Structure 1
């Protein structure tokens, strides 16, 4: 059982003894709010699943989720009065912990499109095409339980980059060839960088480029954002010939998150929000290159 300071607790429960509590959450959310037919909401998998239940301090059920034998997370639901209070985050973490206890390498889920950002913040990345389920548009997502998740599309790259940015504590390191069109100009990534840069504590967003001219010629929106939030952003361009030959690109933060691309002109790579050793390795490789790189002072005066 996980006890939290927010007035609720989360625990794995037996389906047969907790079915009424599960029903007290899932039916108001799915059947009443979202108009999912009751016969679709309850299925033959339910007795075979691992279920987690959130209860308030009075013992009343307020949220639930399940983990199927097919290694899929589903039926994530939180009662309306408890939304925005961390219940969904706690449920998802509990389900991932249950998967780890069973030594499952990967978990998947079908996210309602409106919830993609929520799952991305927990390291899930989209894959495949969107589809309709019970009349609601969904997106398949996946996450490695231990280790790095494969990234093989722009959509996945954008989702995981935004998640790594938002998980940053104080320092974010970006090593990019030329601000990667399609990634660092994506609205989700720009919004995440804006959110990070406007936090009250000091934030260092360091962007190391191999070609500083190309983003300037293309009027990359990240340059404009950095001008408005200049205290958080710093840009440098590699100058050492050995550094210019580096073919890869990455994003890494000081909270164990990293996204590494062997070829910096492609989105294909691997990522995780909690791969502490790999993220530290990327940050440690970044710093010496940063120290010998040229400050890109022309970005600060662009458009002045």
Structure 2
């Protein structure tokens, strides 16, 4: 497990440098005098830490509205650390009221940023001896989600941004998404912090989720005051193949075909999120409570 937090440049300088020194200077042979610059002290920083509080990743957001210094230690790559840091930085950018952010992606990271909605701008170029691609993301538009990695990262960020209310509509608790460890941890944190938090989960096939021993059902069993589960009952509702997650903070992820990851999402899409919440409520009211899922004996 790991956590992402905002970092103070002065107080956390040694931790930030310990990761960047390994990744940029030692692995990629970037000169130290280039890796350190005057923007560091003016930037917003995030740091990823392991369960023991040791730094494993860094990233920054400069006054130029540019994301940079994204670095993850080798042993932690491919485990969602980079995506979590990226969304933490995007959350800060949205909080500052910025309409867009940019970055210079190393060539081997272009696909990663594309999955999170960034678009290439111009031709590739060399920077510090490494091929780069300028990329830009509009924060006031939805992002296309096309694969599991992007779906997981977006869902985690959406849950983390939620204030008090989260709704989930799923056929059978989305294997590959709602059973992902990062998503479950975000949901557990949401359910155990604050008062009055609620998660309404609307299923199309409760029996299938039960047979699969879906981990989210175990979490719901442990936090029955937070999680409520119902199964659609009306024939019209059952014919709706879509799936969605929406929150009271204006975030949403909607998939026209609920058994696929493909869809659109936004973490600052209040009008569409409100529309999804309003459409969810009447279906929830006419659906049956899943009392049989309260004690699974897993």
TM over 0.5: yes
Q: How many angstroms does 1:29 deviate by?
A: 6.0
Give the equivalent residue in structure 2 for 1:125. 116
Picking from 143, 166, 173, the partner of 1:172 is 166
The size of the alignment, in residue pairs, is 240
1:135-174 to 2 correspondence within 5 Å? 143-174=137-168
1:1-304 to 2 correspondence within 5 Å? 28=17, 32=21, 36=25, 37-39=29-31, 42=34, 53-54=42-43, 65-66=61-62, 73-75=67-69, 93-94=92-93, 100=99, 104=100, 107=102, 125=116, 143-303=137-297
Distance (Å, rounded) in 1 between the aligned partners of 2:142 and 2:102: 12
Per the normalisation by structure 1, the TM-score is 0.65
Distance (Å, rounded) in 1 between the aligned partners of 2:235 and 2:143: 32
Bigger CA radius of gyration: 1
Structure 1 unmatched ranges of 5 or more: 1-5, 10-20, 56-62, 78-87, 112-119, 128-132, 135-139
Asked whether the equivalents of residues 245 and 254 of structure 2 are also in contact (C-alpha less than 8 Å), the reply is: yes
Q: How many angstroms does 1:290 deviate by?
A: 0.2
Report SS of the residue matched to 2:178.
coil
Q: How many angstroms does 1:66 deviate by?
A: 3.9
Distance (Å, rounded) in 1 between the aligned partners of 2:162 and 2:206: 24
Report SS of the residue matched to 2:254.
strand
Distance verdict in 2 for CA 1:98–1:245, change over 3 Å: closer
Asked whether the equivalents of residues 145 and 262 of structure 2 are also in contact (C-alpha less than 8 Å), the reply is: yes
Report SS of the residue matched to 1:42.
helix
Deviations 1:199-224 (A, max 9, x none): 13111110001111100011111111
Distance (Å, rounded) in 1 between the aligned partners of 2:62 and 2:43: 12
Q: How many angstroms does 1:107 deviate by?
A: 4.0
Distance (Å, rounded) in 1 between the aligned partners of 2:148 and 2:260: 9
Asked whether the equivalents of residues 117 and 143 of structure 2 are also in contact (C-alpha less than 8 Å), the reply is: no
Asked whether the equivalents of residues 98 and 139 of structure 2 are also in contact (C-alpha less than 8 Å), the reply is: yes
Deviations 1:230-276 (A, max 9, x none): 11100000111110111111000100110011110100111111111
Per the normalisation by structure 2, the TM-score is 0.66
